[in-house]
Amino acid sequence: MIKLKNVSRHFKMGDSLIKALDSINLEIKEGKFVAIMGPSGSGKSTIMNLIGGLDSPSKGDIFIGDYNLKNFKDKQLSKYRNKKIGFIFQSFNLQPTYTALENVTLPLFFSKVKPKIRNEKAKQALTTVKLGNRLKHKPGELSGGERQRVCIARSLINDPDIILADEPTGNLDSKTGKVIIDLLKNLAHKNKITVIMVTHDSDMASFADRIIKIKDGKIV
């Protein structure tokens, strides 16, 4: 599903060259739940951004299936992000004045899907994350765990091949965090979605199929 081949990402800071990633090689199979761990500044978020098409490597190749992201133009990358990738953020990134249903439908506005179909798909996604009874509730009326489940439902709305979760349990207590982890693992194993999670929490990472540790831009 995912293959990074000799991938580097360098940034210039004044006269210094920062090696966020330094010639890494990585393969991740379809339908696996993978945790990426490492200290701040180790490069784990950079890997997420590269796989998600939010950034481009300084060197190397990123293959998603048979496609090399390096060959994609801006419009192709935008379509790839919208159709193939689901994003889950630690800070939820929900619109406070929208209901759960409306928040989940948002990615479909860019796909020009008719309102009736948008709502049907959003209801299905919210039912998948066991929020079928909270469709009309706004984020302020939901618990932290429920808000994160709305985010997961939103990430599912375009039937992605890959879900990228950035510290999805960072704002949650351990019990609620475990519910979210179980949900992500279930999506990987039952729906064959490849789930990649960045986390600092070794307890949550222990539930993944595989843990990848990053240090100083290298896989260790």
pLDDT in tens, 58-110: 999 999 998 999 999 999 999 899 889 999 988 888 999 999 999 999 988 87
- Write out the CATH class of domain 27-56+71-219: alpha beta
pLDDT in tens, 123-182: 999 999 999 999 999 999 999 999 999 999 999 998 999 999 999 998 889 999 999 999
Q: Show me where the domains of the chain are located.
A: 27-56+71-219
CA–CA dist 72, 63 (Å, integer): 11
Cα distances (angstroms) measured from residue 159 to each of 66, 68, 84, 133, 156: 19, 21, 7, 22, 5
